[in-house]
Structure 1
Amino acid sequence: MSRKRWGAAIVAGALSIGLSVAVSPAQAHDHGSGGARTVGYYTQWSIYDRNIPLKYLVDNGTAARLTHLNYAFSFLDEQGKCVSSDAWADYQRPFPAEQAVNGKADEAGQALMGNLNQIKQLKQKFPKLRAYISIGGWTGSKYFSNAALTAESRAAHVKSCVDMWLKGNLPGLPAGAAKGVFDGVDLDWEWPSTDGAPGNIVRPEDKRNFTKLLFEYRVQLLKLGFTDRRTYDLTAFLPANRGALDRGYEVKTIFKLLTFATVQGYDYHGTWEQITNQQSAIRTPEGDPTSPPDSSEIVVDAYLERGAPKNKIVFGVPFYGRGWTGVTNQNNGLFQQSTGPAPATFEPGADDYRVLKNLVGKDGYQLHRDDKAGHAWLFNGTTFWTFDDPTEIKRKARFIRDRRLGGAMIWSLDGDTTDGELIKALDSGLRR
């Protein structure tokens, strides 16, 4: 039997036997040596205002501690096919020597530049690191429902994404110029059957179609993997909100299709609410006025109750904080009325840890901590920031370890300091 016919026979057999068999080749290839995954999102736009190239992750010790890097984001066009949301950042920008992972400047005429070439260099430096292309995101999920709608649209979507990001056929570059950069696909559809960003297309059938979309990915990744003699992984970013979870996901089934899932462990509260609160506490703080309450324990238990296996839940931790201003000066600012988002460096109401850490002890800011619930905040009498410092990150890592979850996910890697305070705390809590 020819190699081509043998590959087709394997896929057909996997389809006939069922979902778990179709995904089995991926299960043994995604852990670090310690058994716990450490998955970090690196954002395409980090090279702009933040001026944080991938070399930053080498210099501050992050890259050496990661098992997986998710590159965010690819978008979808109206037909549901994969497109680059910023070709300059992705594969066109020449990096100078001082920003390059390998210390060498990009040269005119080379086949691949931009962040993808830097990921390629990062993987050469850290051979055990696996990199995924993350598709969608808050501003890139508008057309996911179109992509998942029919068997034809699902096949076309997956083919376009595989061709672009895994086979490496990028517009304007030689065929296969980016092949080998990515080891899998991370789907970040926010959210099936639930409103996300304004203008997103949402359908009731998204829930079932998401499962079918994952299955189509598995079929095409299995075929590609057979041709390339390697395994390609499939992951997804899933919500903390239980309403969105129940409306959009067939939990037990999709976890059979996924290598693992990164589960949102933050944004429990934010400036879309007027009352200050924690954004990532492990347990519900005493006196929390919201109903239903949110905490890491509640989110993890919700997934387990719906059939998710512990070892495939990679739980998210934030390397940023959320802030309110015009806050009533009571209870150290916690659970108080505000007038709106706090001023910040890049986006009102949100800022990186490396920025927020410098507020401690300045302009009247005092650090407060709830050791029982597991969260920290800053308050100066009028402005309140909920954030995770090394103490809280290590506490969350221990929570992940003690619950025997599949690891930790970071949003996002550009929020850490030049000496890697948070990644070191996370690594310490996961390993010991």
Structure 2
Amino acid sequence: MTIPFVKAGYWSSTSQFAVGSIESSHFTHLFCAFAELNAETFEVSFPTPTMLDFKTFTQTVQRRNPDVRTLLSIGGPVSNPSIFASMASQAGGRKIFINSSIKLARTNNFHGLDLSWLYPSTADESRHLGELLKEWHDAIVDDAKGIGKPQLLLTAQVFYSPRRYSYPDAPIISHSLDWVNVLAYDFYSPSNSPNQTGAHSALRSKGEQPSVETGINAWIESGVEKTKLVLGLPFYGCAWLLADKNINEISSPAKGAPPSYPTGTIGYNQIKNFIARDQHTKVKFDTGTETHYCYDHTICISYDDTKSIIKKVEYAKEKELHGYFAWHVGYDSNWILSETAARGGV
């Protein structure tokens, strides 16, 4: 039996990108991110400023693609991981969280749930996460039987490699989750590598340096089935201020993020504008990491363009992974990357 290839994308509620503008025909699954976890009650809820977007998310994206499946993602990079740790450490807390997440998904017509706990960091947190996933999976099975509807999907975001943070044993992950979304990016950024540029989402690298390949291999070696792995594609780049305008390749001296992009993050749509605004801006493809970079006289940006996106989707298929996801759809430029990835994943 052939497992359908997942072509997913995340919509971020903080992106100011309208849900109604998502070209959902390029995707099999869309994640609505992020729902919030209450620190006191452990109930899941929608963020107040974008509550209507969450409530109507499925209805809205299915206008262009009635077959697209939606998942509600909980947590995210700005959430407090200690709240997830506290919830997961208590049987009662886990039950409240699970029941409220299922109710919220069902009430608002989502087809699944996604956990973005970034990240469990101790052996106890790993064990509690395992308990949470098993109980969540069982509750989803019972829910489907009880109401006579298809089971909700259950997924989770994970670090690019299992060797950095604490995760449950592979059998728990494989049994409890439909798949895991591997965050295969931000290997190098101005926040973790302020003094040197780097390939923030290298497909390949030398030795054990961070890359898609080393991370995926590590997950497979840990025992997680390759058909449970979905590869993350960044629709954004990382920007550095060059220390020397004449030294501008990958691994060049840098001085942190440039003032024009203070977080160091720059969407693909902004990168296209950055390249177009100055005829002297150079665009290069780094064969060692199989990613793109561009630079002018002061800034260097590491990013993925169509060539590297195609290579990553081809890699996912060759490795017999479950598919790919994009972070996030609002960063795309005229759906260039979304369409390229979707064609490559046929």
Where do 4+ consecutive residues of structure 1 move more than 6 Å? none
**Alpha-carbon offset, residue 383 of structure 1:** 1.0
Paired position in structure 2 for 1:196: none
Paired position in structure 1 for 2:155: 235
**Alpha-carbon offset, residue 248 of structure 1:** 3.0
Paired position in structure 2 for 1:158: 98
Q: Is the 8 A contact 1:79 1:147 kept in 2?
A: no
**Alpha-carbon offset, residue 362 of structure 1:** 3.9
| Alignment map for 1:20-419 (pairs within 5 Å) | 35-47=4-16, 52-58=17-23, 63-79=24-40, 81-84=42-45, 86-91=47-52, 114-142=53-81, 143-163=83-103, 165-168=104-107, 178=108, 180=109, 182-193=110-121, 204-229=123-148, 230-245=150-165, 247-272=166-191, 273=193, 274-284=195-205, 292-344=208-260, 348-360=263-275, 362-363=277-278, 364-418=280-334
Aligned-partner SS, 1:340: coil
The separation in 1 between residues aligned to 2:163 and 2:312, in whole angstroms, is 24
Aligned-partner SS, 1:128: coil
The separation in 2 between residues aligned to 1:146 and 1:123, in whole angstroms, is 36
**Alpha-carbon offset, residue 127 of structure 1:** 2.6
Letter aligned with residue 279 of structure 1:
H
**Alpha-carbon offset, residue 57 of structure 1:** 1.5
- Report Cα offsets for 1:107-159 as digits up to 9, x if no partner: xxxxxxx3431432322542321111101111114310011002222112111
Letter aligned with residue 187 of structure 1:
L
The separation in 1 between residues aligned to 2:41 and 2:240, in whole angstroms, is 37
- Report Cα offsets for 1:350-407 as digits up to 9, x if no partner: 1110110122254332001123431110111321100111111111111111111110
TM-score for both structures, normalised by structure 1: 0.74
- Report Cα offsets for 1:303-348 as digits up to 9, x if no partner: 1100111111100000000011033345533212211102346x52
TM-score for both structures, normalised by structure 2: 0.92
Q: Is the 8 A contact 2:44 2:97 kept in 1?
A: no
Q: Percent identity of the aligned residues? A: 23
Alpha-carbon distance change, 124 to 228 in structure 1, aligned in 2, over 3 angstroms: farther
The separation in 2 between residues aligned to 1:239 and 1:144, in whole angstroms, is 16
**Alpha-carbon offset, residue 210 of structure 1:** 0.4
**Alpha-carbon offset, residue 244 of structure 1:** 2.8
Q: Size of the alignment, in residue pairs?
A: 341
Letter aligned with residue 121 of structure 1:
T
The separation in 1 between residues aligned to 2:247 and 2:345, in whole angstroms, is 33
The separation in 2 between residues aligned to 1:313 and 1:204, in whole angstroms, is 23
Alpha-carbon distance change, 149 to 387 in structure 1, aligned in 2, over 3 angstroms: same
Q: Is the 8 A contact 2:208 2:214 kept in 1?
A: no
The separation in 1 between residues aligned to 2:57 and 2:35, in whole angstroms, is 17
Whichever of the two has the greater Rg, that structure is 1
What's the RMSD between the two structures over aligned residues? 2.1
Q: Could you say which structure has the higher strand fraction?
A: 2
The separation in 2 between residues aligned to 1:160 and 1:300, in whole angstroms, is 32
Letter aligned with residue 411 of structure 1:
W
Q: Is the 8 A contact 1:192 1:249 kept in 2?
A: no
